[in-house]
Amino acid sequence: MDIYNGNILRKLLKDADQGGYAVPMFNYTDLWDQMAVIEAAMELHAPIMFASIPKTVNAISPEVLGAVGTVQMKKAASPIIHHLDHAKSVELCIAAIDNGYPSVMIDASDKNLETNIAMIKNVVEYAHTRGVFVEGEIGRIKGRDYEATYDGDDFLARVDDALRLVQETGVDSLAIGIGTAHGFYDGKPEINFKRLKEMKEAITVPLVLHGGTGIPEEDVKKAIRLGINKVNIGTQIRYTYMQSACRLIQEKGPVTHTIDIMTEAKEEIKKVAKAWIRICMADGKAEADLKGQEIQYAES
C-alpha cells in the first residue's frame, strides 16, 4: 500500500466518523507484535495505526523505527499508519517526523493549558509543513503517573479548554480525558459519556479514546457512536505478548529457537488485535481506492 503522510490519516478518520466506526491504534514494542497487529489488519481488511511509545523509541531509535515503519506502510495491502504515541517533548516529535513518521502525538496534558497549547503549536508548525498529522491531548488519562495527584472530575477535559486548544493550535485530532485509564482497571471504568457528547458537539477535529484495555465492549461501541474516531490499545497487547512468550518458553524449553517461540506468540497477539478491530467495527473498512497512489513522505 502506498501511503502518504498525514493526509491519508485525515481521510481515514473522517471516513470513520461518517461510517460509525473507529480506527484502532495498537502500541508495539518490537517487530513481532508490530507484525501481529499489521497482519491482523490485512486479514480483516481494516485500517489501523501501529504506534511506538517514547520508551520504545529511546530503546531502539527513531531512525530504525521510522525506516521499518515506512517499509511496513509501503508493503501493506490495507491503509496502515505509523504513529508516535505520547511524546512528552517537541524534540522527540521532530526526530520522529525527520525519520518518516507520518503521525505524531505530543502529550503535554500534564502541563497547564497555556504550556500545552504552546507545545502543540510548536509541533504543528513543524509537522504541517511536512505533511505530518499531529494529535494532542487535554484532560488526564488515569494511570500511575496521575493517581496520587488527581481524582474525580480533575481527570475530565473541559469543553471550553478543548475548544480553545483546537482553535489556537490547528491540531489534527484530540485525545480527551473522559474517565479512561492506561493499564488494567480495578473494577468497571466510569466513562463520562455526557462530557464526550459535549466535546463532539463543540469540537470539529477527530476525537481519540486512550486507555482502551479493560473497557467493556459495549462502552467502547457507545463511545464510538457518540463521536470517538480512534481507540488506543496498548497494555493488552504487551500483556498478551509477555504471557504467551513466557508460557511457550516453559512448554518448549530454553533451547527452542527464538523464531519458534515468537512466531506462536505473534499469533496470540494477532487474536487480540483482531478482536479489537471488530470491537471498533473497523473490519472490512480498508479502502481499495487507496491502492496505487504515489507515495509521499515527510521531508527530512
- Check residue 259 and give its pLDDT: 95
Domain-located, residue 35: yes
* Residue 300 resides in a domain: no
Residue 183 in marked binding region: yes
Would you say residue 296 lies in a domain? no
Domain with 112, as residue range(s), is 5-290
Say whether 86 counts as a known binding-site residue. yes
Average pLDDT per 10 consecutive residues for the chain, totaling 300 residues: 74 96 98 98 98 98 98 93 98 98 96 98 98 93 43 71 98 92 58 95 96 88 98 95 96 88 97 98 78 42
Q: Tell whether 142 is covered by a domain.
A: yes
- Domains contained in the chain, number: 1
Q: Is 210 annotated as a binding residue?
A: yes
**Phi, psi of 25, deg, nearest 5:** -120, 130
Structural domain contains residue 252 = yes
C-alpha cell at 242: 509477555
Task: Check whether 170 is labelled as a binding-site residue.
Answer: no
In a domain, 57, yes or no: yes
Determine whether the annotation assigns residue 234 to a binding site.
yes
Report the CATH number at residue 124.
3.20.20.70
Per-residue model confidence (pLDDT) at position 139: 87
Is 182 annotated as contributing to ligand binding? yes
Task: State the Cα–Cα distance between residues 224 and 263, nearest whole angstrom.
Answer: 33
Q: Is 69 helix (H, G, I), strand (E, B) or coil?
A: helix
- Answer yes or no: are the C-beta atoms of 9 and 102 closer than 8 Å: yes
pTM of the predicted model, to two decimals? 0.90
Active site residue 283: no
Instruction: Given the residues 85, 151, 260, 283, select the one marked as catalytic.
Output: 85
Contact 86, 53 (CB under 8 A): yes
Cβ 81 vs Cβ 73: under 8 Å: yes
CA pseudo-torsion sign 89, 90, 95, 96: positive
- 295 is a domain residue: no
What pLDDT is attached to residue 98? 97
pLDDT of residue 141: 56
Residue at 297 is within a domain:
no
User: Does 232 count as an annotated binding residue?
Assistant: yes
What is the chain's Cα-based Rg?
18
Provide long-range contacts, Cβ within 8 A and 24+ apart, for 90-94: 90/119, 90/122, 90/123, 90/126, 92/54, 92/57, 92/62, 93/123, 93/126, 93/127, 93/134, 94/123, 94/126
